[in-house]
Structure 1
Amino acid sequence: MSNEGASVYILLCADGSYYTGLTRKEVETRVGEHNAGINAEHTSKRRPVSLLWSAHFEQLTDAIVTERRIKGWSRAKKEAFMRGDFETLSSLASRKRPS
């Protein structure tokens, strides 16, 4: 696998849902594609979308792991993460663990 980096991003869709994606392009370019309906199956019916959060990773594998992790999170956990509220994020994560 190539060592070229990639970015992970979270979009707010017009219907209020979140979409998490990964791109090797500039994030702004990819957001424009989502808004144009290009390679955007999930978001094409939820336009317009707006960028809420993004991060670049030097290693593609790190970006893939991060995207998959975020996609598995609840809405509340995604919101805490985007706010940088790591105390709430930790609390939400611990709720899922068996007692």
Structure 2
Amino acid sequence: MTNDLEIRIEQHDSGYDPKAYTFTRRPVVLKYYQRFTLIEQAIEFEKQLKGWSRKKKEALFNEDWDEVKRLSNLKKK
């Protein structure tokens, strides 16, 4: 979550924080982003994404909304 996407990507790519998840996974590649008007919505969406499976995240990256929905329904059963 950031209010300046370019700076945030540069921070991750440069290894700005050795404790960050991305530190050993550089170079980073931005796969998806979404804009929110309220910071609370952004925080909630980020928390939600962290709980998603890799397959569901990949469907999101590909903007395959049918697959995102299908994978969401699988988890509910």
Q: Do the structures match in fold with TM over 0.5? A: yes
The residue number in structure 1 matching 2:28 is 49
The count of corresponding residues between Structure 1 and Structure 2 is 76
> TM-score normalized by structure 1?
0.71
Question: Once superposed, which parts of structure 1, at least 4 consecutive aligned residues long, lie more than 3 Å away?
Answer: none
Q: Percent identity?
A: 36
Alpha-carbon distance in 1 for matches of 2:51, 2:23? 21
Name which of 35, 42, 53 aligns with 1:74: 53
Q: Unpaired runs of 5+ in structure 2?
A: none
Q: Which has the higher contact order (CA 8 A, sep 6+)?
A: 1
The residue number in structure 2 matching 1:37 is 15
Answer 1 or 2: which has greater helix percent: 2
Q: Unpaired runs of 5+ in structure 1?
A: 1-21
Answer 1 or 2: which has greater strand percent: 1
- Give, in angstroms, the shift of residue 83 of structure 1: 1.4
> TM-score normalized by structure 2?
0.89
